[in-house]
Amino acid sequence: MRAVTLHLRTTPARWAVLPLAALGLAILFGRSRYWIGIWPEAGAAAQITGYFLSLFAAGVSAWIAAQVTVRGMREQLAAAARRSIGVEAGRLAAAAAWIVMAYLVVAVAAFAATARTFPPGVGAFFSYLLLGLVPVLASTAWGWLVGRLLAPMLAAVCALMGWFVLTSLLGQFAQSLRISGPPWLALDLTTILLRLAAVIVLAAGVCVIPLTYRGRTVVRALAGPLGVALVVVVHVNTTLVTYRQPASDPLCVQGAIEYCLWPEHEKYIPLVKAADARVAALPADLPLPPRVVDYALSGSTVYVDLTHSIERQGDFPHEFDISEGSRWGLARGIATAISREIFKSCAVQAKPDPERRRDQIFAWLEWRIAGGGSPDYTTDAPGEMQDAWTVGRQTATRSEPEQAEWVNRTISEVKTLHCHEQ
């Protein structure tokens, strides 16, 4: 038997793996399923589950660390011939290994669910996986720190609540989590590794807290809190997410319009084809744009970072947002592109249109391309605009000849009454 095996066999953390893994799987598959089949989204789903697990990991870790006092083992550990940092490191590492195991069960499930179709971009999955390790390991170290100071139940509750408060506060100043993993964003691996390194320093700091009041106890006792401070400082001073350059080999589907997607969005091709079939069924005399592209793929915007971007002038294809597999997001983008094509020469409105006919046309197109039903988004648009959308959507339920007549008439009215032809 090796020391690793011995520690893994003796830590109470081994009893926490199954409940944590079960909880993780429930969160992973219960929260949403759109991520299945898209590597970065699958990685982000596993990663955000890792955050939820980290809350409980903090409690479990604190409870285990405090067991030394409750079980009366402090004296036995203090009499060890091994360095106290080694003894604590062994206990903490074993607890962390089992907790990470629970996280890895979640990660493997997310991987397996997506590996069935194995789309492009598997590398992004692992970067999100690594990001998820940061809260899992940091919470374990944090919990251990609290557990060394308080009684088990109190320590577990305080560690869990404290970790929630700490991460919530940290979220105000630094990006530490990703709710989703769109393909146009990339994680900075250096940042993740730096954060992991800070967490390891925290864990080491927690391990040097003395078991007995002997030697340079004050200096050693400060190591844990200083480790927490280091983790916070590193999080605040590093940038986690950057925009990716538009893919040089986008995945394009030719139909009534050419649709180009990020290669990672391969699974949305059937959704795009279905939308294209509905575009093809629109009245034949409607002008269509040659091409629409996935979000951040047109090159019209140069993203400096998450808060700064530069808009480029030129004839760029219109973008749609198909995130989370939303047919309404896709339809909205295509409808906007077609609407822009229809009113291409209609640059400036001559006089206001109280009926907002352009919005009626847009809503009609959106409803048709989405395939009907209720939109999957909420809006706080002005009342007149929402009234116009209602008119457009209601029209979309009429017969085809009636719709064609309404569309031609409405477009004509807009062009003649409410815009200057360029």
Partner 1 sequence: MTALLGPNGAGKTTLLRTLATVQPHRTGELVIGGQLVASEAQARRARRQVGYLPQRFGFDPRMRVSDFVCYGGWLRGLPQREWRGATTAALTHVGLADRAGQTMGSLSGGMRQRAAIAWAIVGQPKLVLLDEPTVGLDPQQRLRFREIVTSLTGATVLLSTHLIDDVDAVCDRVIVMNAGRVLFEGPTDELKALEQASMPGHTPLERAYMSLLPAQDRDR
Exposure of 242 in the CB half-sphere (CA atoms within 13 A):
13
Distance CA 367, CA 282 (A): 11
Question: Tokens in use for 213?
Answer: 């009041």
- Taking the complex as a whole, the smallest distance from the CB of residue 23 to partner 1 amounts, in Å, to 21
* Segment near partner 1 (CB under 8 A); pick from 9-17, 191-199, 329-337, 349-357: 9-17
Q: Which residues contact 82 (CB under 8 A, 6 or more apart)?
A: none
Burial class (CB in 10 A: 0-12, 13-18, 19+), 2: exposed
Which residue, 86 or 373, has its beta carbon nearer to partner 1? 86
DSSP annotation of 247 reads P
The string over 318-343, giving b where at least 16 C-beta atoms fall within 10 Å of a residue's C-beta and e elsewhere, is bbbebbebbbbbbbbbbbbbbbeebb
Which of 73, 179, 233, 347 contacts partner 1 by CB under 8 A?
73
- Taking the complex as a whole, the smallest distance from the CB of residue 53 to partner 1 amounts, in Å, to 22
Is 420 a residue that touches partner 1 (CB under 8 A)? no
Which residue, 87 or 414, has its beta carbon nearer to partner 1? 87
Q: How many residues bind partner 1 (CB under 8 A)?
A: 27
Instruction: Give the residue among 222, 306, 231 at the shortest CA–CA distance from 54.
Output: 231
Burial class (CB in 10 A: 0-12, 13-18, 19+), 307: exposed
Is 190 a residue that touches partner 1 (CB under 8 A)? no
Is 218 a residue that touches partner 1 (CB under 8 A)? no
Which residue, 81 or 218, has its beta carbon nearer to partner 1? 81
Which of 19, 26, 75, 302 contacts partner 1 by CB under 8 A?
75
Which residue, 81 or 310, has its beta carbon nearer to partner 1? 81
Q: What angle do CA 31, 37, 41 make, to 5 degrees?
A: 55
- Taking the complex as a whole, the smallest distance from the CB of residue 148 to partner 1 amounts, in Å, to 15
Which of 31, 74, 398, 420 contacts partner 1 by CB under 8 A?
74
**Tally of CB atoms within 10 A around 123:** 12
Distance CA 276, CA 233 (A): 49
**Tally of CB atoms within 10 A around 264:** 25
Is 217 a residue that touches partner 1 (CB under 8 A)? no
Which of 215, 287, 299, 372 contacts partner 1 by CB under 8 A?
215
- Taking the complex as a whole, the smallest distance from the CB of residue 30 to partner 1 amounts, in Å, to 30
Within residues 80-109, the interface with partner 1 by CB under 8 A covers 80-83, 87
Phi, psi for residue 403 in degrees, rounded to 5? -65, -45
Distance CA 250, CA 190 (A): 27
Instruction: Give the residue among 4, 133, 6 at the shortest CA–CA distance from 57.
Output: 133
Which of 19, 26, 30, 71 contacts partner 1 by CB under 8 A?
71
Distance CA 294, CA 309 (A): 17
Which residue, 10 or 254, has its beta carbon nearer to partner 1? 10
Within residues 38-67, the interface with partner 1 by CB under 8 A covers 67
Which of 31, 33, 214, 273 contacts partner 1 by CB under 8 A?
214
Is 153 a residue that touches partner 1 (CB under 8 A)? no
Is 212 a residue that touches partner 1 (CB under 8 A)? yes
* Segment near partner 1 (CB under 8 A); pick from 44-52, 207-215, 250-258, 282-290: 207-215
- Taking the complex as a whole, the smallest distance from the CB of residue 77 to partner 1 amounts, in Å, to 7
Is 26 a residue that touches partner 1 (CB under 8 A)? no
DSSP annotation of 246 reads P
Binding site for partner 1 (CB under 8 A): 1-3, 6, 9-10, 12, 15, 67-68, 71-83, 87, 212, 214-215
